[in-house]
Amino acid sequence: MDLGISGRKAIVCASSRGLGKACARALAEAGCEVIINGRDQKKLDATAAELSNQTGGKIIAVAADVATPEGQKALLAACPAPDILINNNGGPPMRDFRELTRAQLIDGVIANMVVAIELIQKVIEPMTQRKFGRIVNITSSSVMAPLAGLDLSSGARAGLTAFLAGVSRTVADKNVTINNILPGAFDTDRLRGTLSKNAEQKGKSITQVAADRIATIPARRFGDPAEFGAACAFLCSAQAGYITGQNLLIDGGTFNGAF
């Protein structure tokens, strides 16, 4: 399927690894020029080379912390008027909510809510003027079904979701869409880190902890980041202009509800 976005410019935040990288790859495959980002310059450069070799697309690497004003400035300097913005960032570590300090609470809200809103503020006017814009926010299935220890992540991302639900309706007539993708358990470094921590806490092997988790997923496997990237690219396609303000849960059927 031709997604109709060849030649479009895309910023994909936090994309040197994992789900962000998979989105960057899928957009490059669709013919977009892609700005990728991460804090570790070496890993980022390796990803840029890999994606450019695999897709033949133009990949620009911007090493920066997306949570900081300087990081955002660097991203927008590389691409001042993107057609596509994928908001992503690292998630906070698992922590009992009782232990969270005021500063940690505020940092968590900045990382998983404020940063995405700030970037949208900066890119949305040119999108509305050009009558094309696609914004996808990577949130989490924990917005719909809480995960103990990830309360800050769930709360900040739910705040982002509610905030943008209204905003998305104000730009839909300009062919600018804003949607969220909610990952369940995808096979990335982050998931492997969580499994390893769980294994340590429970005194089990990582293989056992992974098998226990997979047993709770109706699809009986972890998600492949490529599946996530393909869904993201579709939401950025020309054909997806009538889909906005939506939450796409990709979790192998884990959330047990009819709606």
d(CA 224, CA 231): 12
In the complex, the smallest distance separating the C-beta of residue 128 from ligand NAP, rounded to whole angstroms, is: 26
CB of 7 to ligand NAP, least distance (A): 25
Q: What are phi and psi of 95, to 5 degrees?
A: -155, 140
* 171 vs 188 by CB, closer to ligand NAP: 188
Shortest spacing between CB 40 and ligand NAP, in angstroms? 3
Closer CB to ligand NAP, 65 or 83, in the complex? 65
Interface map 167-206 toward ligand NAP (x if CB under 6 A) = ----------------x-xx-xxxx---------------
Of 84-92, 102-110, 161-169, 170-178, which part binds ligand NAP (CB under 6 A)? 84-92
Subset of 4-43 contacting ligand NAP (CB under 6 A)? 14-20, 37-40, 43
Which one, of 55, 173, 151, lies nearest residue 105 by Cα?
151
Yes or no: say if 62 and 14 are a contact pair by the CB < 8 Å rule: no
Which residues are at the interface with ligand NAP (CB under 6 A)?
14-20, 37-40, 43, 65-67, 88-91, 138, 140-141, 183, 185-186, 188-191
